[in-house]
A and B are shown apart, each in its own frame.
Chain A
Amino acid sequence: MSNSIIKVEGLHKSYRMGTSALHVLKGIDLDIKAGEMVSIMGSSGSGKSTLLNILGILDGHDRGDYFLDNIKIQKMNETQAARFRNNYIGFIFQSFNLISFKNAMENVALPLYYKNISRKKRNQKALEYLERLGLKEWANHLPSELSGGQKQRIAIARALISEPKVILADEPTGALDTQTSYEVMDILQEVNKMGITVIIVTHEDDIAHRTQRIIRLRDGIIEMNKKNGHFQAAASSEVFSTT
């Protein structure tokens, strides 16, 4: 498991629903190499969001092993989990989840606040990332003043600023129109080119086809896990300019 960034073996997870238990993940085996771009598909209730939450250490698992960057993730307290998330993982959500009363720059800078980086330094770095995403002139705007695509780009900047090893995106294009979705996917592919592993949960085929590998879940087990034959590289690298 030399260069696998995420390795999952026999992963089980169930939720207690009153008296009965809901068995959501029924033995997942997964190996994602560093620098891969993978999509996880499946209908609602297939367990894909649960899997993403476990991979993001937002939730614990019942049985099986999970290695993140060759470190075994076991039951840990919230403080340790927060450190892991802060250092290894960047999240991108369907509903963007920006903090409404903070402007674009402050939103992007927030993960660095939890790394105890000074205000001046983190704002400077946030501006850098906003510039790379073409949003520098929007730095002082509140999320409510921005379009969906702009909000998602800010969320991506926020996910990137702590220089994570893995980006976990939960339906990142779910709230966007097709054109904007493709733009966001272009950016994610650019991010992937920088060497960051990208895992996208989606139920849209055209989005999944922009990734190198598609994992399809059904009823808590992996139904299909194969290289994407239709893999399309990014149309252009102008959207996300690496500087």
Chain B
Amino acid sequence: MFNAFQEIFSTLKQNKLRAIMTGFSVAWGIFMLILLLGSGNGLQHGMENNFRGTAKNALWIWSRQTQVAHEGLQAGRRIQFTDEDYDMLVNQFNDDLSNISGRFRLWGSGTVTYKNEYGDYDLEGVMPEFQHIQIVDMEQGRYLNKIDLEQFRKVAIISVPVKKALFKEEDPIGKYIHIDKVPFMVVGTFINPERRDDEQIYIPVKTAQRVFNGGNRLNQLAVSTNALTVAENKRVEEAIRSTLMKRHRIAPEDKQALGIWNTLEHFKQAQGVFMGIRIFVWVIGIMTIIAGIVGVSNIMIILVKERTKEIGIRKAIGATPWSVIRLVLSESVFITTLSGFFGLVAGMGLLAAVSMVLQNIAEGNPGIERSFYNPTADLSVAVSALVVLIVAGLIAGYVPARRASGIKPIEALHDE
């Protein structure tokens, strides 16, 4: 191995400038590939930040007015979910669903006050299972639990912006806030990664129904499925849709009355787009590298021509064709891998720098992390780039190596 390196070095030293110029084209190709791949990753991370906070296989179910008259009922009827719909989901879709939560939103239910502070916040009654559908990070205390629900406890968890508005520096846990003059004990504070700045308060759904005259009504249903594939998720979605439509006597052709947002489907669609982008990036990157390969190959052919006599001598004193091929190939691979490595390091370095700058910007401006975030090329990208380089070196060396091995010693030694 070392022997071979000695051979490569002694010949490359002869053509230093040329080797460097040739290497530059390959380094540039790899540099661009890494930059492009990193940017693709950045876009993808930004997109994934948009989905963070929601279970990937969540279904969000809401109701509207009917558009089509059906079974003697007029169009324009408002569909209202109730606890019975929740019970139906629990009973009929137990196998397909991992978490089910009814949601009861409080609109215009008055202000929330704590001591002298007050404000209007987004108020919602949810079930403990909701934490697995709309995923939030608990900052302090705990999420709502089953006992809160069963015993109609007047407890609440508040988002960090609410805490800041009402409590300032005070510890909110165990304190009472008043929602429409009804006292609720704060048991936890949370951050919603999807909507960091939103002022949200969650209370147990049954408490919300009882205290705020909700009866058994629910506004929305949210579930997460056990599905792993889009098709499976879609099947569950359709099953739930048709069951609910039958229960509420909605015409099958009525597309408006019932809304279901299939997170997995949209997530996969977005992922598909990014897969496309990634393929596109690879294609462009490889095109750039091909330009480099042609350059290296070209130079190597010239080098081989110049070294015809030397190769002839080597053959006369016992070099086999294979050893000549190896000589040329290893030189070509050496040039491409070494220069490609420089391009790789430069590209990775630039990405790391950009990533750091973006992180600093994101501190003050959360919007950026949803569009472009953490544009790194990971190890697997670096490894595949390296593989591409070696293959590139081999391809670049192939034609010149074939020429070199075809050199006949008598002809090579003849011209003098």
Binding site for B on A (CB under 8 A): 53, 56, 58-59, 78-79, 82-83, 85-87, 90-91, 93-95, 97-102, 106, 110-111, 113-115, 118-119, 158, 162
Question: What are the residues of chain B within 8 A of A83 when measuring CB–CB?
Answer: 318, 320
Q: How far is the CA of A40 from the CA of B382 in the complex (A)?
A: 62
Which 6 residue pairs of A and B lie closest in terms of their CB atoms, listed nearest first? A86-B318, A114-B318, A82-B320, A79-B320, A95-B416, A111-B317
Listed A/B pairs (24) with beta-carbon separation below 8 Å: A58-B410, A78-B320, A78-B321, A78-B405, A82-B315, A82-B319, A82-B320, A82-B321, A83-B320, A85-B316, A95-B416, A97-B313, A97-B413, A99-B313, A99-B314, A106-B10, A110-B317, A113-B7, A114-B318, A114-B323, A115-B318, A119-B3, A162-B317, A162-B318
Contact A110:B314 (CB < 8 A) given known A58-B410, A95-B416, A118-B3: yes
Q: In the bound complex, do residue A114 and residue B413 qualify as a contact, i.e. CB atoms below 8 Å apart?
A: no
Question: What are the residues of chain A within 8 A of B315 when measuring CB–CB?
Answer: 78, 82
Residue B163 interfacial (CB < 8 Å): no
In this complex, what residue of A is CB-closest to B311? A99
Residue B107 interfacial (CB < 8 Å): no
Q: In the bound complex, do residue B310 and residue A58 qualify as a contact, i.e. CB atoms below 8 Å apart?
A: no
In this complex, what residue of B is CB-closest to A78? B321
Question: What are the residues of chain B within 8 A of A162 when measuring CB–CB?
Answer: 317-318
Contact A86:B317 (CB < 8 A) given known A99-B310, A113-B3, A119-B3: yes
Contact A114:B317 (CB < 8 A) given known A99-B310, A101-B10: yes
Q: How far is the CA of A99 from the CA of B310 in the complex (A)?
A: 6
In this complex, what residue of A is CB-closest to B405? A78
In this complex, what residue of A is CB-closest to B406? A78
CB contact list, B352-407 vs A, under 8 A:
405
Q: In the bound complex, do residue A119 and residue B2 qualify as a contact, i.e. CB atoms below 8 Å apart?
A: yes
Q: In the bound complex, do residue A82 and residue B318 qualify as a contact, i.e. CB atoms below 8 Å apart?
A: yes
Interface of chain B, main secondary structure: helix
Binding site for A on B (CB under 8 A): 2-3, 6-7, 10-11, 13-14, 309-310, 312-323, 405, 408-410, 413, 416
Question: What are the residues of chain A within 8 A of B7 when measuring CB–CB?
Answer: 113
Question: What are the residues of chain B within 8 A of A99 when measuring CB–CB?
Answer: 310, 313-314
B9 to chain A, nearest CB (A): 11
In this complex, what residue of B is CB-closest to A170? B413
Q: In the bound complex, do residue A101 and residue B11 qualify as a contact, i.e. CB atoms below 8 Å apart?
A: yes
Q: In the bound complex, do residue B14 and residue A101 qualify as a contact, i.e. CB atoms below 8 Å apart?
A: yes
Question: What are the residues of chain A within 8 A of B413 when measuring CB–CB?
Answer: 93, 97
Given known contacts A79-B320, A91-B316, what 6 new A-B pairs fall within 8 Å (CB)?
A78-B320, A82-B315, A85-B316, A98-B313, A101-B10, A101-B13
Q: How far is the CA of A162 from the CA of B318 in the complex (A)?
A: 10
In this complex, what residue of B is CB-closest to A94? B416
Q: In the bound complex, do residue A85 and residue B318 qualify as a contact, i.e. CB atoms below 8 Å apart?
A: yes
Q: In the bound complex, do residue A79 and residue B321 qualify as a contact, i.e. CB atoms below 8 Å apart?
A: yes
B196 to chain A, nearest CB (A): 64
Question: What are the residues of chain A within 8 A of B322 when measuring CB–CB?
Answer: 79
Q: How far is the CA of A8 from the CA of B315 in the complex (A)?
A: 24
Q: In the bound complex, do residue A97 and residue B309 qualify as a contact, i.e. CB atoms below 8 Å apart?
A: yes
Q: Which of A82, A91, A106, A110: most chain B CB closer than 10 A?
A: A82
